[in-house]
Amino acid sequence: MDTAEVIVLVFSALAVFGVAWWFFLSDKPKMVAATVGGVQTLKVTVKGGYDPSTLEVVAGKPVRIEFFRDETNPCSETVVFGDFGVAKVLAPHKTTAVEFTPEKPGKYGFECGMGMLHGTLVVKEGEVKP
């Protein structure tokens, strides 16, 4: 093996490792709700996807997700939270709030009306009352 081959090998290894790290090890952007007046509030930008796409709240308290749809692409026109029976049309370049109260902890998906864009709502156990 000459020097050039070694260099190629090292760079290939780094590239493979980098891709693996990106997919498996890097933490996906996650947003934990801020409580405003007793309502767990989150802000999501909709542009070719949901950003952030993983939202974290606790069970038993109202949730308000403010979707800012920063595009006119019809794909993202509707956001659907199937588990909560919520479907909402998002006006382009405006903020539309979606409100509901998750009663049970778990992971719930949300998506566009065509099921192409995906996000996850992580509902954690709320405070246990004595």
Q: Does 13 bind Cu ion (CB under 5 A)?
A: no
Q: Does 87 bind Cu ion (CB under 5 A)?
A: no
Q: Which one among 8, 114, 124, 125 touches Cu ion, defined by CB under 5 A? A: 114
Residue with Cβ nearer Cu ion (33 or 112): 112
Contact status, residue 31 vs residue 53, Cβ threshold 8 Å:
no
- Measured distance CA(116)–CA(111) in Å, rounded: 7
Contact status, residue 114 vs residue 75, Cβ threshold 8 Å:
yes
| 5 contact partners, CB below 8 Å, separation of at least 6 | none
Identity of the residue numbered 67: F
Q: Which one among 31, 32, 59, 75 touches Cu ion, defined by CB under 5 A? A: 75
Contact status, residue 80 vs residue 113, Cβ threshold 8 Å:
yes
Q: Which one among 33, 63, 112, 123 touches Cu ion, defined by CB under 5 A? A: 112
Stretch that binds Cu ion, among 2-10, 35-43, 46-54, 115-123 (CB under 5 A): 115-123
- Per CB under 5 A, residues contacting Cu ion are 75, 112, 114, 116
